[in-house]
Chain A
Amino acid sequence: MAPIDGKYFENTSPIDASFIARIPQSNAKDIDLAVEKAWEAAATFSKTSPAERSMLMFRIADRMEENIEKLAMAETCDNGKGMRETLGADLPLVIDQFRYFGGCVRTEAGSVTNIDADTVSMEVHEPLGVVAQIIPWNFPLLMAAWKIAPALVTGNCIVMKPAEQTPASLLVLMEVIGDLLPPGVLNVVNGFGAECGKPLASHPDVKKVAFTGETSTGRLIMQYAAENIIPVTTELGGKSPNIFFESVMDEDDEFLDKAIEGLVLFALNQGQVCTCPSRALIQESIYDKFMEKCLARIEAITMGDPYELTTMMGAQASNDQHAKIMSYIDIGKQEGAELLTGGEVYENAQYPNGYYIQPTVFKGNNKMRIFQEEIFGPVLAVTTFKDEDEALEIANDTQFGLGSGVWSRDMHQVHKMSSGIQAGRVWVNCYHVYPAGASFGGYKNSGIGRENHAMMLNGYRHTKNVLISYNKNKLGFF
């Protein structure tokens, strides 16, 4: 649909700064219309059976699978990440998200309790109605899927606003799956935060707001939710520690190879991941040997054409993001951190106008800003520790608590660390793995609520208690 006021903005590709499409610059009028249409659709959609909604999830998944290359290419073009990742990770995870929740909703059994011989208590679930979802630009399709699948499968209708840097791939997805959905069930509204995001987040007819982004907007969204007395989920980022104990070097085997890759995963998606393992903590007894191997692996990262499957790192998502990352590299140098590799813009001969940065590693200490603030770029901050206690102290010395990684061959050590780390996800001997069935969310300033896992079904439902008395006698008070 055209925006009511007829305004559009230009969307460009970070790969080469070229024009992609004109995108609706919608405002509060469009949000009002979308919310109204979503409520009209909710009258019918909220009454559909779990079997029907489950089948809808499977049909969406199948349709996406048939169009995987088109969707992966749209995502690469809009966001700048390599096809190596969109085809190998983003899209398979998007598809699996719909299959997982399509399965979950069929296996549920309700809860009925005999309170006493004549009283039965039933816990009944009902959809919230119309929910607002505001998603980020780092995984435009995957973050959309994380929010869409659990909301739709529980019978809600959605008004979704994608980020203004990456509005196009979601519109391609809507073209691909639009005919499978009843009109008004899933509404995508594009535009800028102040003009379009705020009216959506503060809309009095929206029954929940789910947001992924940064802390100031997260706080504003909670502020608006307080005014409307509605629930929110907020996922606001992290500064995730990735901890390597000396036993990883005990053997020169597949596991050591995996651990080296585990450190280099800071460069996945150009570092633009909320759980980016952007702080590497390495036991000092193995630091020199382990880091030598890791630096060799980092220096072997190929950059170039993001559409080529051999290219390991693509473009940063926007010009301002590129400028922000470079300002942090400058801060790291000013703070006296030791630059181990990278530290410069990557000059892409094929796409000289794109936004590329070399994978960069600093050695420093955990009090530096590059260790404490989410840079959201391919910048790793490395430090060392003596023992388990010091590793835990450094790992938890952060305002965030989203992801973390522990690498060790000693399971007792692993248990001590995974219980001691204050974060919503501890990856043990792996990293950046996102199964739909594993919960995801933060401790501390990383936000409120969880995504993924069957527990999300209740994140998009009311619980209604129906309390039935089969006893004919009165209570006796009156």
Chain B
Amino acid sequence: MPVERVSVTEAAAEVIDRLRSEHGELMFHLSGGCCDGSSPMCYLAGEFRLGGRDLYLGDIHGCGFYMHADQFEYYKNCHTIVDVVEGRGASFSLEIPLGVRFIIRSRIFTDEELADVRPVEAAS
């Protein structure tokens, strides 16, 4: 089994379950830039149109996790953990009405992990 690039905390998995039962299948896209940038956005699966430069990094709790190739350049050496905190982000991410916000925590891969890390795939 290769080392996964993304994972999810138990608290975030519980929020995903709640959103999935309310809305249906979900996807995550990591945003960049201003304001709520660098936060994972949770959408209905298929709501966000993935492009030729988006990459698939793996699944978290049954949801595809994607990011743009420009951003991945700076994430390729990091394990990305999707967590959740109380708060009120802006954006169209589905968890915001619940009064919580998904956030990213990161850990730098060790050299051993990097040698066996899951390869990224084109998203579309």
Contacts and interface: CB of A to CB of B under 8 A. Distances in A.
A247 to B, nearest CB: 32
A334 B108 contact: yes
A16 interface: no
A216 B38 CA distance: 9
B115 interface: no
A372 B46 CA distance: 28
Interface in B1-56: 29-39, 41, 43, 47-49
Interface stretch (A93-101, A315-323, A458-466): A315-323
Contacts of B78: 331, 369
Given A137-B90, A193-B92, A213 B85 contact: no
Interface string A304-340: 0000000000000011110110011011001100000
Given A327-B103, A331-B106, A373 B34 contact: no
A399 B71 contact: yes
Given A215-B31, A399-B71, A374 B38 contact: yes
Contact of B89 (A138, A165, A368): A165
Interface string A353-389: 0000000000000011100111110000000000000
Interface stretch (A44-52, A113-121, A231-239, A284-292): A231-239
Contacts, number: 162
Contact of A193 (B68, B73, B93, B107): B93
Contacts of B94: 194
A455 interface: no
Interface size grouping (class) on chain B: 35 or more
A445 B104 contact: no
Interface string B91-124: 1111011000101111110000000000000000
Contacts of B62: none
A404 to B, nearest CB: 16
A138 B29 contact: no
Contact of B33 (A320, A324, A367, A374): A374
A393 interface: no
Nearest to B67: A216
Contact of A372 (B47, B48, B74): B74
B74 A213 contact: no
Contact of B31 (A217, A223, A323, A369): A217
A79 interface: no
A218 interface: yes
A279 to B, nearest CB: 13
Contacts of B108: 334-335
Interface residues of A, number: 53
A214 B88 CA distance: 15
Nearest to A10: B99
Given A195-B97, A215-B68, A320-B85, A136 B90 contact: yes
A324 B35 contact: no
B35 A213 contact: yes
A8 to B, nearest CB: 12
A274 B33 CA distance: 8
Contact of A324 (B39, B47, B71, B97): B39
Contact of A373 (B38, B49, B87): B38
A137 B34 CA distance: 10
Nearest to B66: A216
B106 A237 contact: no
Contact of B35 (A25, A163, A220): A163
Contacts of A323: 85, 87, 103
Contacts of B48: 216, 219-220, 223
A381 B42 CA distance: 29
11 contacts: A164-B89, A164-B96, A215-B32, A220-B48, A318-B87, A319-B85, A320-B39, A323-B85, A330-B105, A330-B106, A376-B34
Interface of A: 25, 136-138, 163-165, 192-195, 197-198, 212-220, 223, 235-238, 272, 274, 318-321, 323-324, 327-328, 330-331, 334-335, 367-369, 372-376, 399-400, 445-446
Given A215-B31, A216-B41, A368-B74, 16 more contacts: A137-B90, A193-B93, A198-B92, A213-B34, A213-B36, A214-B31, A220-B92, A223-B49, A236-B37, A320-B89, A331-B78, A367-B74, A369-B75, A373-B32, A373-B37, A376-B38
